[in-house]
Structure formats: structure tokens, C-alpha cells
Amino acid sequence: MSKGAKIGEKRTVPGERGKQLLKLRNDYVPRGGFHTAPIFIAKGKGAIAEDVDGNEYIDFCGGIACLNTGHCHEKVVAAVKNQIDKFMHVSFNVFMYESFVQLAKEICESTPGNFPKKAYFFNNGAEAVENAVKIARRYTGRYNILAFEHAFHGRTLLTMGLTSKVKYYKYGFGTTDIGIMRVPYAYCYRCPHKLSYPGCGMHCLNRIEDMFKTYSPADSIAAILVEPVLGEGGYVVPPKEFIKGLRDLCNKYDILFIADEIQAGMGRAGKMWSIEHFDVVPDLMTIGKSLSGGMVLTGTVGRADVMDSVETGGIGGTFSGHPPACVAALEVLKVFKEEKLVDRSAMLGKLAKDRLEEMKKKYSIIGNVNGIGSMLGLELVKDRRTKEPAAAETKEIMKNCHEHGLMIMNCGTLGNVLRFIYPLVIKEEELIKGLDILENAIKETSKAI
């Protein structure tokens, strides 16, 4: 039994022990790393976390989409323990090991595309994206990458350039966008062309070919890099024609299509890979986050001829495809099948979306319910007509949730989207309780209609 507040009960954030640790954090950890709330975790199981003061939380963040199989899934934990008793690190560049190659096979078989594929594993999402770009450049002999407004691909020098949010991902770090051509995403709720779908005739897509004439020729573009569903940019689902149209452009101009599935993949969007919603097959995909159930593992997977264009030694790294993470990922893939987590994502997502749409009828602060499957976002606005983002109110609602035992975070270039990334193993009653806490926070923070 925990000694602190139960889910739904008010608690002080941070608690006494939390305060002591927060002082250490502020004294010794730079402010450049952000935290959603001043809360330190002590342990987690499934969709429930307990902080160092014994307070319980329903976790709607899942380590930012890394815990689709929940905190400490017992089968994943057992696989990791078993592995670390045998060997922990050798580097795949020295001794190779079975789990790496078995996982590569599984990932190649589970990703879209009826052609030979190969996969390699890395340590974070940014590294997977960087490698996809390197491989695309090497294969095509072209340098430029077409990326999108509101995209998030990481924080390293290259991926910071590919990312499209200035404060604070790019701010003050100098020129980052060399070789990157940026075009609007089909974010219909906030259409940059002030048009409405479907009457717009997919103007955003048509603009790309114009830019091949005015900005950068198509034959300089190695790849189109796109999140099939925007992650950090606000959990935005584009029209199907948008993603299909990008694929058509790639076919027309011999450009590679890279789907960044790091956040939207692994069942989050109600399909194993979010690109499956669009009937499009990418040439390369980047994967990560929930791949290894809370261990550290990402990957780049795609057409074997493209992946093999890089000479031996051109990709990889000391820790790439760490053994405990590879065995964890193999176990995660089994758990997905055994517990039917992709179907569960669609089922839970429907439950949550219906409830969020009900809330939208009651509270004017909710401008739009974004997302698909269990990748949902609530876009909060000060005024539904002007769509002015309600960023301060979003923070206030989050704080209220944290104080009542719901760990929730925001996203969106404008900071005004509450996102739902609960573990897919969450119990229905936990999901409903979390939504109750959220609704209460919205009620206290905003006016009813």
C-alpha cells in the first residue's frame, strides 16, 4: 500500500521528498532539459506510477509513447533479466548476437512492403532519422531532404534542422536548415493557406511541385521525410490524399519516401504502423519509442537495396542494438500478438475519442479533437472562431491533473494540445478515471458552453 494520495485525491506537487530531489535537479541538471511536472517516480506497473512521496498516478504519458506495453511488463522484465545474466554489452561491431538478427528479421517482416528489407538498430530516434537521411543520400546521390512544418525529428544538429519548432528546439543554435526544404503539412484545422478540406483541392500538395521550380529542383531531393501522423506537432492526422500524394511525387521524381514512425508506430495510432492508414508503402521507416517496452532501442528499416547502398562501417555505433534492448523488443512483439494490443489501441482510442467529443460539446476551450487510434490530442483554444491557442490554460489544466493523480503532457507547435499516450495495457476503468480527472480539470479551468 502506498502512503500517499490515491488516484483522484488531491496531493501537493512536489511532495516533501520530491522537493529535495527537485533542489538537486535544479542545482546540478541544466535547465535546457525540460520536465513536464516536478514529480519524481519511485516505481511503475502497467499504467500506474507511484512517486517518491507515495502518491499514485494514472500515466497518460507512457514515457512519451515508449510504454505501449506498460511499465515493467513482466515478460519484458524477465527477458531483460535473463539477458543481463549472460552478457550485457559487447557491441554488434565486435561479437554479433542472435537477438539483433532475429529482431531485424521480425521488424522486416512486420513493416509494410512486399519486397526484401533490412533493418539496423540505434539508440534514440534522432539517430534513426539521421541514419535514414544518410542512407537516402548515399543511395540517391542527392543531398536535400523535403520536410514539413510542425515536424519533430529530434534534437541533434541534423534532426534539429528537420524539426520545425523554433522555441526551444532550434532557438539560438545557429543555422540548422542546410539542405532542408520545408513545406506546410496538411494541418487542416490550422491550414496555412486558410483553405478548407476538401474544397482546397489539396493546395498544400500542389505547392510542392511549384517549389521544385522556385526553390530546389526535384532531382536534388534525396527523400521526403514525413510523420504520417504528426507527433510533437499536435497529433494531427492529414487527409489520406496528402500522404498518397507525397508517395506519387516520390514515384514521379525518383525521391525516397521516409515514414518517421517513431511516435505514431508500434500500435499507437490503431494500426501497427500509422502509414497503414494511408495505403502507402514507404521506402524507409524510422521506428523507436515503444519498440523495446521501456528499454533504449530505435531502428531504421526499409528496402534492402537502399539499406545496402552504404559501405560497411558507414552506419552503426558502439551501443547500437544493445543486447538487453533487443531481447526486450523481441518480447514486446510477442506481447503485442498475445494481448492483441493493436486492436486494443483502436478499441481504447474509440472509447477515449467518444468521451473527448462529448467534452467538446460542453467546454468551449476545446477547439478540436485531433488524432487517430490511441494517438489522441485535445486542441485547446481561447476562442473557437479565432482559434487563438490556449497555451497558458493548457498548462493550468495539466497542473490540476497532476495534483489529482493524472500524469498528462502537452504537445503542438503552439503548446496548446493535450495528448493522450496511455499504455495500451491500461484497464478501461483506469482510462475512464483518467478522463474523469481531466474533465474536472477542464471544468475548473474553463467556462462551460
What does the alpha-carbon distance between residue 313 and residue 190 come to, in Å, rounded to a whole number?
Answer: 44
CB of 210 to ligand PLP, least distance (A): 27
Nearer to ligand PLP among residue 153 and residue 404 (C-beta): 153
CA separation (Å) from 48 to 7, 38, 45, 344? 9, 17, 5, 18
- Closer Cβ to ligand PLP, 129 or 146, answer by number: 129
- Cα 323 versus chain centre, distance: 23
Q: Which residue lies nearer to ligand PLP by CB, 140 or 159? A: 159
Name, in order, each residue with C-beta under 8 angstroms of 349's C-beta and a sequence gap of 6 or more: 270, 371, 372, 373, 374, 375, 376
What's the closest the beta carbon of residue 411 comes to ligand PLP, in angstroms?
9
Question: Which residues are CB-contacts of 317 (< 8 A; sequence separation ≥ 6)?
Answer: 122, 123, 127
Residue 325 CA, distance from chain mean position: 19
Among left, alpha and beta (phi > 0; psi -120 to 50; other), residue 81 is alpha
**CB of 286 or CB of 445, closer to ligand PLP:** 286
Beta carbon of residue 165, minimum distance to ligand PLP (angstroms, whole number):
11
Q: Please count the helices (runs of H) and the strands (runs of E) in the chain.
A: 13, 15
Q: Contact 262/275 with Cβ under 8 angstroms?
A: no
How far apart, in whole angstroms, are the C-alpha atoms of residue 369 and residue 79?
38
C-beta closer to ligand PLP: residue 152 or 420: 152
Tell me the three state secondary structure of residue 147. Answer: strand
* Three-class secondary structure of residue 341 per DSSP: helix
Least distance between ligand PLP and beta carbon 332 (Å): 16
Nearest to ligand PLP of 51, 232 (CB atom): 232
Nearest-CB residue for ligand PLP: 125
> CB 299 → ligand PLP: shortest distance, Å?
12
- Identify which of residues 260 and 430 has a Cβ nearer to ligand PLP in the complex: 260
Instruction: Report, in Å, the least distance between residue 278 CB and ligand PLP.
Output: 16
Joined grid coordinates for residue 270: 490503431
Closest distance of CB 99 from ligand PLP, Å: 21
Contacts with ligand PLP, residue ranges (CB under 6 A): 124-126, 129, 152-154, 227, 231-232, 260, 262-263, 288
Contact residues for 48 (Cβ-Cβ < 8 A; gap 6+):
7, 56, 57, 58, 59, 71, 430
Decide whether 409 or 426 has the Cβ nearer to ligand PLP: 409
Angstrom distance (rounded) from CA 286 to CA 265: 9
The least CB distance from residue 129 to ligand PLP, in Å, is: 5
CB nearer to ligand PLP: give 124 or 140. Answer: 124
CB-wise, 407 or 441, nearer to ligand PLP? 407
Minimum distance between the CB of residue 231 and ligand PLP, rounded to whole angstroms?
4
Q: In this complex, which beta carbon is closest to ligand PLP, that of residue 155 or of residue 334?
A: 155
Task: Quote the radius of gyration of the chain (alpha carbons, Å).
Answer: 22
Helix-, strand-, coil-residue percentages of the chain, each rounded to 5:
40, 20, 40
DSSP assigned state of 16:
H
Cell of 323: 543486447
φ, ψ (nearest 5 deg) of residue 57: -140, 145
Shortest separation between residue 54's beta carbon and ligand PLP, angstroms:
30
Distance between CA atoms of residues 56 and 48, nearest Å: 7
Which residues, 6+ apart, have CB-to-CB distance to 194 below 8 Å?
Answer: none
Minimum CB–partner distance for residue 376 and ligand PLP (Å)? 15
The dihedral over CA atoms of 289, 74, 100, 323, expressed in degrees to the nearest 10, equals 90
d(CA 47, CA 27): 31
